[in-house]
Amino acid sequence: MRSGIARGQGLATAIMVVPATVLYAVMLVVPVGLAFYLSLTDWDGFSANPAVVGLDNYGRLLGDPELRRAALVTLLVAGAGTAGLNLLGLGFALLVNGRSRANTFFRMVLFYPHVLSALVVGFLWSAILGTTGAVNSFITQRGGEVLPFLSDPAWATVTMIAVLVWAGFGVNVVLYLAGLQAVPHSLIEAAQIDGATRWQTFRNVTLPALGPSVTVNVVLSLVTLLKTYDLVVSLTAGGPAGQTQTVAYLILWNSFHDARLGFGSAQSVVLMVVTAALAFVVTRLRRRGETAAHQ
């Protein structure tokens, strides 16, 4: 009787846990392992038995000038983008901190682009900044020269970073606002009673207390920007002349346009490792910085 109930409970537990676990294992854990395996093959996406080619894909990856350029663009986007997202995120969080109807409205306005898909954001900005786009039509009608927002490689890279920041910093604002709630008000009051200026209070009280928030925001921005793909497709299509291709863009292009999924897998394994390493290093550096600040 007793064991009958226990067996029934065991069955119920299995019914509750097994489906999620199996599906997760098949479609997430197995693929992560497969990514490593496929990176050692010449899989084209169709053949059932891809040939194992060892480390060839990794060797090719080192000598690929396209990939080197894409890596540079990606690091630039991630670096400058992270700086932009966090400076604007923290700055605006300080500006719209505090309960009021106006602040709720401002937060909504800063946040709304995040709700749109990156694909739509890219098409929209390309209609605004393209050669015949809204801004250039406006300029040329007043006798000005066309500005190459998307047609010059350097301009296009900067434009892409700017659009990424425009579309994303609202999230950082909200995350920093959450962090600001955790800063003890008594500390800020104490600083003000001691005659600290606004800047001194921010620099010596608010910012150190925001430490963990800064770490989360920086790591998050970095990880998100390192896999920039949708916006490249819609804003520049990788152009002009492939100069704004990111690593994620090349991975999918090589894999599905050129049918070189083995090579694409090698690139995605490297991207995954580099992303994890960067996130780890930033977290460690921030932690060391925080302990140093406390001494």
Partner 1 sequence: MRRYARLGFLAATTLFMLVPLYVLVVNAFKPQQEILASPFGLPLDGLTFEYLAKALDNPQFDIFRGYAVTLLFVVSVNVLSVVLAGPAAYVIARSPKRRFRVLMLFFLAGTFIPSQVLVIPVVYVLKTLGLMGTIRGFVLFETVLTLPFSIFLYAGYISTIPATLDQAANVDGAGRLRTFWRIIFPLMRPVVATMVILNTFSVWNDFVNPQIILGPGSGLYTVTTGVYAAVSQYSTDYTVVFPTLLLAIAPLLVFFVIMQRHIISGLTAGATKG
Residue type, 158: V
Nearer to partner 1 (CB atom), residue 44 or residue 152: 44
* From candidates 86, 215, 244, 275, binder to partner 1 by CB under 8 A: 275
32 near partner 1, rule: CB under 8 A: yes
- In angstroms, what is the minimal distance from the CB of 16 to partner 1? 3
Residue 77 vs 220, nearer CB to partner 1: 220
Should residue 180 be labelled a site residue for partner 1 when binding is judged by CB under 8 A? no
Residues numbered 214 to 253 that lie near partner 1 (CB under 8 A) are 216, 219-220, 223, 227, 229-230, 233-234, 237, 248, 251-252
163 class by beta-carbon count within 10 Å (0-12 exposed, 13-18 middle, 19+ buried): buried
H or E element: which one contains 28? Answer: none
Judged by phi (left if over 0) then psi (alpha if -120 to 50, else beta), residue 171 lies in: alpha
Residues whose CB falls within 8 Å of the CB of residue 68, separated by 6 or more in sequence, listed in order: none
The answer to whether 82 touches 152, Cβ cutoff 8 Å, is no
- With CB under 8 A as the contact rule, the residue among 34, 154, 285, 293 that binds partner 1 is 34
Q: Does 280 contact partner 1 by CB under 8 A?
A: no
Position 166 contacts partner 1 (CB under 8 A): yes
- Considering only residues 94-153, where is the footprint of partner 1 by CB under 8 A? 95-96, 102, 104, 106-120, 123-128, 130, 132-135, 137-138, 141
For partner 1, which residue of 52, 72, 190, 276 counts as binding (CB under 8 A)? Answer: 276
Considering the rule CB under 8 A, would residue 265 count as an interface residue with partner 1? yes
Minimum distance from CB of 193 to partner 1 (Å)? Answer: 20
Task: Please state the closest distance from residue 151 (CB atom) to partner 1, in A.
Answer: 12
Nearer to partner 1, 186 or 201 (CB): 201
- Say which DSSP state 245 is in: -
- Of residues 8 through 27, those in contact with partner 1 by CB under 8 A are 8-9, 12-13, 15-17, 19-21, 23-24, 26-27
Instruction: Give Cβ neighbours of residue 144 (< 8 Å, ≥ 6 apart).
Output: none
> Using CA of residue 144, residue 148, residue 149, residue 154, what is the dihedral sign?
negative
Whole-angstrom distance, CA of residue 159 vs CA of residue 148: 10
Distance of closest approach, residue 75 Cβ to partner 1, in angstroms: 16
Q: How far is the CB of 246 from partner 1 (least distance, A)?
A: 11
3-state helix, strand, coil in the chain (%, to 5): 75, 0, 20
- Total residues binding partner 1 (CB under 8 A): 89
In this structure, which amino acid lies at residue 25? A
List the interface residues with partner 1, window 41-60 (CB under 8 A).
Answer: 43, 45
Does the CA dihedral 13-18-24-25 come out positive or negative?
positive
**Shortest Cβ distance from residue 295 to partner 1 (Å)?**
29
Asked whether 182 and 216 are in contact (CB, 8 A), the reply is no
